[in-house]
Structure 1
Amino acid sequence: MISHPHEAHSSGQVLPFRESLLAMLGIAFVVMLVALDQTVVGTALPTVVAELQGFEYYAWVATAYLLMSVITVPIFGRLGDYYGRKPFVMVSIVVFTLASALCGMATSMPFLVLARGLQGIGGGMLVGTAFACIPDLFPDSHVRLRWQVMMSAAFGIANAVGPSLGGVLTEAYGWRSVFYVNLPVGLLGLWFAWRYLPHLRQQANTGAIKVDWLGAALIGVGLGGLQLCVELMPERGFGLVTGGLLVMSVCALVGLWQWERRTPNPILPLEMFRNPGLAPLFLLAVFVGFAMFSLLLYAPLLFQGGFGYSPKEAGVLVTPLVVCITVGSIINGRIITRIRQPNNMLYAGFGMLALACLGLSQATRGMSHHLLLGMMLLCGFGLGFIMPNLTVFAQQTAGREHLGIATAMLQSLRMVGGMIGTAVVGTLVTRSYLSGVHDALQSAGAGQWQARMADPQILIDRAAQARLLSQLEAAGHNGALLLEQARLSLVGAIHMGLALAAVIAVLGLWRSRRVPPIKLERAVKPVMATEQGGARG
């Protein structure tokens, strides 16, 4: 651990090269832990649902994680500003790794959802602290962009192996192994963080820091109630339960707005939302989260349930998306410091994302793999041009004193977008699929089979599919035709969801014009203290 003050080096970093390298390796392993989990689980999820029986919880496996992360990211982003980020990074790795083990031991979908919620708490702590360590170590934005190539490489390794690894592990050892793979990565990240990550503080600690627990609770009630309302709407319609949840959610969010204006240490600093430089970046973070998580969650279901690919084949198709996020980030880092208007990279990113989502919304089972790979690649490049720039632009705009909370808010709002995206797209997919299956069965006089085919898991579970086919044939129905119609219903439903993601990406392209022109200026002799004192960038 580094326990003495360091003056910044002329290269714009607060530690010598070797110490910077080892510290960044620690952060890279932490980043890899989160990225590996997201990509591996996405590929395995259709198989998980097929075994644990509960398609109604499909979106909740992702949204439980996101909801808990949304609450914890700003809390620990603020605490990291005061107490230093290292202790929280280490605790978060422990929580995340233990929760991964619990996910692997799940015996039902509700158990898995709860374990994913705990994993979300660890993931939120990681995101709220680990990402803000980088500008602590490298105050100069030019230097930071060069060192962030290591983060891109960490994402690259995790994202390159993640989807395929998820497919291979699921087929060879069962879906539980995709959660257990986090254990060795977590232990390695914990050792590196403990050994090499310095304990840097941005602000002087003059007393006990008050955490806005009421604000955190109101966020949880507001977003959780909204999430539950959207999830229940397809099944129950707008009735007493869903209406009550919606009213509760609105009241909690209004109460949050009023409370945050009065409390001295708000979890959501409202002045940031009024900042003309930060507000549009926050909105773009919501848009990119919506599109990205919709793709990560529903592209594997399209390929496996809709097109009949194996988990391994689906993993190979998803790999270009996640790998090219990394490659795009690296290319972005090389371009953005050399062009006159860095904001243009946001236009390029959202434009590519919109085109790719639109293309995938028209994809068919007969489409060539090369074309599908190309669309996934375009998605990845678009995201790679957007996400690192939102972070660097926000850090540049917020200034050193709000660096941690601004970074945390950006990551948190991206998760809010992901939560909204998976809920809305999930509701759209579920309702459209059920409607299509109902119509097909009614026209064939096989309405009594609705319950058996209401869950798209029947399109993934080959053994259950074979049993259903034989039962349908014995009852005098054309089982193969009915299953094919169900498959077409699922493809059409996911197409609608991806078309919505394309619309959101177009909105992002349009709203990018509201981001003020960013100048990536070089820092002049910044100073960082490890125990107390502010830092100037």
Structure 2
Amino acid sequence: MSVHSAQPHSSGQILPFRESLLAMLGVAFVTMLVALDQTVVGTALPTIVAELRGFDLYAWVGTSYLLASVITVPVFGRLGDYFGRKPFVIASIIVFTGASMLCGAAHQMLFLVLARGLQGIGGGMLVGTAFACIPDLFPDPRVRLRWQVIMSSAFGIANAVGPSLGGFLTQYYGWRSVFYVNLPIGLLSLFFVYRFLPHLRNSRHKGRIQIDWLGAALIALSLGALQMFVEVLPKQGLSVESLALLVLAGLSFPALVYWERKASQPMLPLNMFSNPALSVLFLLAVLGGFIMFALLFYMPLLLQGGFGMTPQGAGMMITPLVVFITIGSIVNGRIVTRLRNPNAMLHVGFTLLGLCCLGVVTATHLTPQGILILTMLCGGLGLGFVMPNLTVFGQQAAGREHLGIATAMLQSLRMVGGMIGTALTGTLIAHLYRDGVHAALDDAQAQRWFGAFADPQILIDRHAQSGLLAQLAQAGQNGTLLLDRARESLVNGVHLGLACAAIVAFAALWCSRRVPPMKLTRAIDPTVVAD
């Protein structure tokens, strides 16, 4: 195997155009594999649970995946810095696709949960390494932003097609097909990555490498405990279990900091956090994830459960949010490299996100659909302006030596912020909805019906509503009034949750002013070797 220095092509990229395009298609197929799986599986979950009869493990189908991926993203991001990213991208495709086959073959919920955990390991490896392949291929940030449109398009297509594809496959081919559909995409991405993605390594890491396994274990323990606390809190409140997880996370983080200060080759280089640009960008990744996931998770609930829209109607309202993430990313790539102050795109993005959240907070079921679509459009553009720039600015600030771990930390912290956002918003919604339903039933002297209203799903399932209304009518209750009161309580809960997201957006706007002026005219030092 020959080894040679990889110098940038004259156009600011390692490879000529054709080879760059084929390599980027491989990375795009890989990211589409994960993005499509996350959107498709959610649609099939109720059918899966009904067949496998494991409702007590319902949440774990998602939690096991997220927990495994949050833990593995930073670990493999750092290992990619050491050994090059191509071997880990190939391994992630094999693990993810193989785990998808196991998920499709599951005949009990526990097996499915474990297979989803393995899938999460593959997804974490993938996210931790695939995103960092892009600055390897395109050291010039201006060129990189243009090529990142392919990644944004892959995500946009997966997010737009995923829910409908999941419903179609589940209805006509059974829920197992939503996992088996990963096989052709996985094989396609494996071919492109193996054939066209070069194996680039940082020449600074060519000597003896000491892998910081204890650091990796402490990262897993601290992020895992935090993730579990965020998952458990909305369901159990401040219980013994949730407090134990919070204490474990609180002890693990200082232990991680203590050990990484001593390690000669730390898994998590703490000097990244003393970098003024990176430290703010990491914070913005958490805040951006909070806003994005709060919108994506709870807008469908507001539109269907609160405003009484059909799933198709709600999907039409959500589509601009998803589609304009891609459009915003494309527009951003064209604009940001021409600005004297590229940081301005972060300011515009967080402003648009804040306005989107405020628009949702003031919306009612009487709000014209055109206004709702415009609100979603603002949110999509805001995310399209914020997310690519956080990644590119972070890669610029980190430099070649910490490129992988910095990129991985940005992705991992975005997921952590997303889980905090969904947990906080979900907790507020749950409490306000239950309080409102209790008050409505007390007024109607119908507390014995609380069990029927306890889950907001009753506001979406029209078949269940018909049966409940018939029962309430037989009991002499005004079922329509009670459902309207329940909808009002749900709307109030979602409004309060997204009001918090609006506050977070404007806090992020204020914090973004602390990002040092970024210059996108300097290429990352291309000190890499190609095998």
TM > 0.5: yes
Stretches of structure 2 that go unaligned for 5 or more consecutive residues are: none
Quote how far apart the aligned CAs of 1:110 are: 6.8
Which residue in 2 is equivalent to 1:318?
Answer: 318
Report Cα offsets for 1:395-449 as digits up to 9, x if no partner: 1111111111111111111111112112222222222222222222222222222
Secondary structure at the residue paired with 2:202? coil
Aligned partner of residue 450 in structure 1, secondary structure: helix
Where do 1:162-241 residues align within 5 Å?
A: 162-166=162-166, 168-169=168-169, 177-203=177-203, 206=206, 209-233=209-233, 236-241=236-241
Task: Spell out, residue by residue over 1:7-36, the C-alpha distance to the aligned partner (whole angstroms, 9 max, x if none).
Answer: 322111111222111111101111222232
Is the contact between residue 3 and residue 529 of structure 2 (CA under 8 Å) also seen in structure 1? no
Find out whether 1:128 has 2:92 as its counterpart: no
Post-superposition shift, 1:173?
A: 5.6
1:477 aligns to what SS in structure 2?
A: coil
**Aligned ranges 1:298-337 → 2 under 5 Å:** 298-337=298-337
Q: Give the distance between the partners of 1:114 and 1:284, measured in 2 at CA.
A: 32
Measure the CA separation in 2 of the matches of 1:463 and 1:320. 29
| Residue identity opposite 2:199 in structure 1 | H
Please say which of residues 100-109 and 360-369 is displaced more in the overlay.
Answer: 100-109
TM-score by length of 1: 0.89
Instruction: Give the CA deviation at 1:333.
Output: 0.7
1:186-205: CA deviation from partner (whole Å, max 9, x where unpaired): 22212211222111112355
Q: Report the Cα offset of residue 6 of structure 1.
A: 4.1
- For 1:479 and 1:233, the matched residues in 2 are separated by 32
Q: Secondary structure at the match of 1:201?
A: strand
**Structure 1 residues 506 and 66, CA, compared in 2 at 3 Å: closer, same or farther?**
farther
Displacement, 1:309?
Answer: 3.0
CA contact 1:212–1:266 (8 Å) conserved in 2: yes
Identify the range of structure 1 (1-10 vs 74-83) with the bigger mean alpha-carbon deviation: 1-10
What's 2:91 paired with? 91
Q: CA deviation at 1:518?
A: 0.7
Check conservation: 2:71, 2:223, Cα contact below 8 A.
no
In structure 2, the partner of 1:244 is 244
Report the identity percentage. 66
Check if 1:262 corresponds to 2:262. yes
- 1:514 equivalent to 2:514? Answer yes
In structure 1, C-alpha distance between the alignment counterparts of 2:525 and 2:209, rounded to whole Å: 29
Does 1:117 pair with 2:112? no
Equivalent in the alignment of 2:378: 378
Say if 1:42 and 1:297, in contact at 8 Å, map to a contact too. no
The one-letter amino acid of 1:393's match is: F
The TM-score normalised by the length of structure 2 is 0.90
Do the aligned residues in 2 keep the contact of 1:346 with 1:386 (CA within 8 Å)? yes
Report the Cα offset of residue 153 of structure 1: 2.5
1:74 aligns with 2:94: no
Aligned to 1:347: 347
Aligned length: 531
| 1:277 alignment partner, SS class | helix
- For residues 291 and 246 of structure 2, the distance between their equivalents in structure 1, rounded to whole angstroms, comes to 24
- For residues 258-287 of structure 1, what are the alpha-carbon distances to aligned partners after superposition, in whole Å with 9 as ceiling and x for unaligned? 222222333321111111121111110111
Distance 1:255 1:358, change over 3 A: same
Give secondary structure in 2 for the equivalent of 1:340: coil
Q: Return the offset for 1:217.
A: 3.4
Q: Distance in 1 between matches of 2:299 and 2:233?
A: 23
Q: Distance in 1 between matches of 2:54 and 2:485?
A: 21
Which residue is 1:34 aligned to?
34
Q: 1:95 to 1:472 in 2, by over 3 A?
A: farther
Q: CA deviation at 1:103?
A: 4.9
The 2-side partners of 1:352 and 1:177 are apart by: 38
CA RMSD of aligned residues (A): 3.0
Please tell me whether the aligned partners of residues 86 and 193 of structure 1 are also in contact (alpha carbons under 8 angstroms): yes
Give the match for residue 141 of structure 2. Answer: 141
Secondary structure of the residue aligned to 1:9 is: coil
- For residues 165-202 of structure 1, give each alpha carbon's deviation from its aligned partner in whole angstroms, at most 9, with x where no partner exists: 44555666666654444333222212211222111112
Q: Deviations over 1:465-490 (max 9, x none)?
A: 33333333333322333233222222
- SS of 1:337 mapped into structure 2: helix
**1:428–1:496 contact (8 Å) kept in structure 2:** yes
Residues 429 and 493 in structure 2, CA contact (< 8 A), matched pair in contact too: yes
SS at match of 1:333: helix
Mapped contact 2:139–2:524 kept (Cα < 8 A) = no
Distance 1:56 1:299, change over 3 A: farther
CA distance in 1, matches of 2:51, 2:488: 22
Deviates more, 1:431-440 or 1:322-331: 431-440
Aligned mates of 1:465, 1:173 — CA distance in 2: 28
On the 8 A contact 1:233/1:242 being kept in 2, the answer is yes
Give the secondary structure class of the aligned counterpart of 1:515: coil
Is this contact kept in 2: 1:360–1:495, CA < 8 A?
A: yes
Paired residues for 1:277-316 under 5 Å: 277-316=277-316
Aligned to 1:534: none
Letter matched to residue 384 of structure 1: G
Deviation at 1:77, TM superposition (A): 0.8
Q: Quote the residue 1:455 is aligned against.
A: 455
Which is worse superposed, 113-122 or 366-375? Answer: 113-122
* Contact 1:67–1:419 (Cα < 8 Å) also in 2: no
Q: In 1, are the aligned partners of 2:72 and 2:220 still within 8 Å (CA)?
A: no
Does the aligned pair in 2 maintain the 1:59–1:423 contact within 8 Å? no
Distance 2:487 2:101 in 1: 34
Q: Which amino acid aligns with 1:20?
A: S
Shift of 1:524: 9.4
In structure 1, the gaps of 5 or more residues are: 532-537
Q: Which residue does 2:529 correspond to in 1?
A: 529
